[in-house]
Structure 1
């Protein structure tokens, strides 16, 4: 009897010891991402769009004269365009990525295996989101390097040298860092959006379709509200758009960056004037809502699939 009790205790101890750690789960998620075609094929498309968005400058006939006369202005314009493209195309990619990382786990039922191993539901969700954030950081770094190389190719092809890089000063790098910060904020909110829909729908299909549909609906909805204003002449139709996520992310960089740069919105703006702090608060509130809903659904619902 004593031997049986000791054996049972040893088995339970071994089972607890075999429970995956948080960092082990993150490492496993990164490994799974690296082995999926769904990770690499969309990423190649993102790289192609980024390259095309920069290399299209080669079609400009008077670009050489502009680079020679205004090298710093040229670099500012390329920085703004490059980061805008990174925000748009990587944002779409991250919605696809998070749908596969979270939604596919539910859809295939493999999440039950991890839960059965003793992994907490919140721990698993946190590990998955952490792995996506790590991947997002790597993708953005790679995108920045790729865009920088493309800009150098444009300079070499049009001006015949890279002398425009010598015009870069401390203010340029400070402004670039500020713009990059808005891209990172948009990235985090986008990932939390995809997480919420993947947890809510518990499937790849719902997570992917709802996540990708959010921003088009958000932006097109603002245009319908414009129509409502034109018909009724009531400002409430325009004022509502000040709290739409997509339009606020579109104008965040243009409102946060110094006015002297005259940065343009990357998409449809709100129908009323908003400032930088407003766009940041809207992004924060939406991000918190997405996070709280994801946590609440994960905690309250059982894994039955």
Structure 2
């Protein structure tokens, strides 16, 4: 009897030792991501697009005069353009990353190995989502530093100095932080969207295709609803667009930042006026729906494939 008890305790201890901790899973996910070409190649494309979007301004013949006339206004314009590029291109990258981190695990069947080692499905999902958020934060910070470097290059090439940096005020930095916050909110919702579809489809193909298709359909759909309004003259078609995710994320910065800055939306916007709190609430509701859907599907379904 005592031998059986000792053996049982030894087996349980061995199982606990072989089961990774939450932070151990995160470290493992970061290691796997760092060794995949699917992590680095899309990221390289993001860097190239951000560089191209900013450096294309070098061909502008009026840029030097614009800088000389209003240095602070130039810095605001470049900050807003840079944030728009970051939101668009990193958003696409995070959808791809989420599909690979979660969808590929199901598609290759490796998730069964992790669960068989004693890691619960929800713990594994939480670790993967946390990993995505960590990588997203690093990518956003890196993209902002890259954008700042590109703006300095613009100033040196066109103005021959960095005097425009001396005009930056505390209000500029406050507005920059607020704009950054809208980008981070958009990033969180985008990642949760990719996670939800990857868990739903349980494959890289479905997670990738559905995630990447959401925002184009969302934005193009606004135009179809505009057509519906023009045909029927019924406000229903315009009012519904106030609850589309993509248009609200596009309009968020322009509504949250002070109106005097004249920040433009980065794509289609709702066909009815919306304010900052409305865009934030829409983003929150969609984010919660995606999160709850991912948790519920993970908890309720068995891993059979």
2:197 corresponds to 1:218: no
Gaps of 5+ in 2: none
Please name the residue that 1:42 is paired with: 42
Please name the residue that 1:297 is paired with: 297
Where 2:119 maps in the other structure, the secondary structure is coil
Deviations 1:214-246 (A, max 9, x none): 000001111111110010000000000000000
Please name the residue that 2:101 is paired with: 101
Distance 1:250 1:12 in 2: 52
Deviations 1:62-97 (A, max 9, x none): 111111110000000000000000000000000000
Gaps of 5+ in 1: none
Q: Which region of structure 1 is more displaced relative to structure 2, 8-17 or 108-117?
A: 8-17
Distance 2:151 2:2 in 1: 74
Please name the residue that 1:163 is paired with: 163
2:112 corresponds to 1:137: no
Deviation at 1:9, TM superposition (A): 2.3
Give every structure 1 segment of 4 or more consecutive aligned residues whose post-TM-superposition deviation is greater than 6 Å.
none
Please name the residue that 1:179 is paired with: 179
**TM-score in terms of structure 1 length:** 0.99
Please name the residue that 1:18 is paired with: 18
Q: Which region of structure 1 is more displaced relative to structure 2, 179-188 or 61-70?
A: 61-70
- Superposed CA RMSD in Å reads 0.8
Deviation at 1:154, TM superposition (A): 0.5
Distance 1:189 1:98 in 2: 12
Where 1:269 maps in the other structure, the secondary structure is coil
Distance 1:81 1:13 in 2: 56
Please name the residue that 1:190 is paired with: 190
Where 2:41 maps in the other structure, the secondary structure is helix
**TM-score in terms of structure 2 length:** 0.99
2:243 corresponds to 1:239: no
Distance 1:12 1:132 in 2: 32
Where 2:20 maps in the other structure, the secondary structure is coil
Where 2:134 maps in the other structure, the secondary structure is helix
Superposition pairs of residues 243-258 of structure 1, within 5 angstroms: 243-258=243-258
Deviations 1:76-135 (A, max 9, x none): 000000000000000000000010000000000000001001101110000000000000
Deviations 1:239-277 (A, max 9, x none): 000000000000000000000001000001111110000
| Residues matched between the structures, number | 305
Distance 1:6 1:281 in 2: 56
Deviation at 1:4, TM superposition (A): 4.0
Distance 1:220 1:54 in 2: 26
Distance 2:297 2:182 in 1: 29
Please name the residue that 1:117 is paired with: 117
Please name the residue that 1:32 is paired with: 32
Deviation at 1:17, TM superposition (A): 2.4
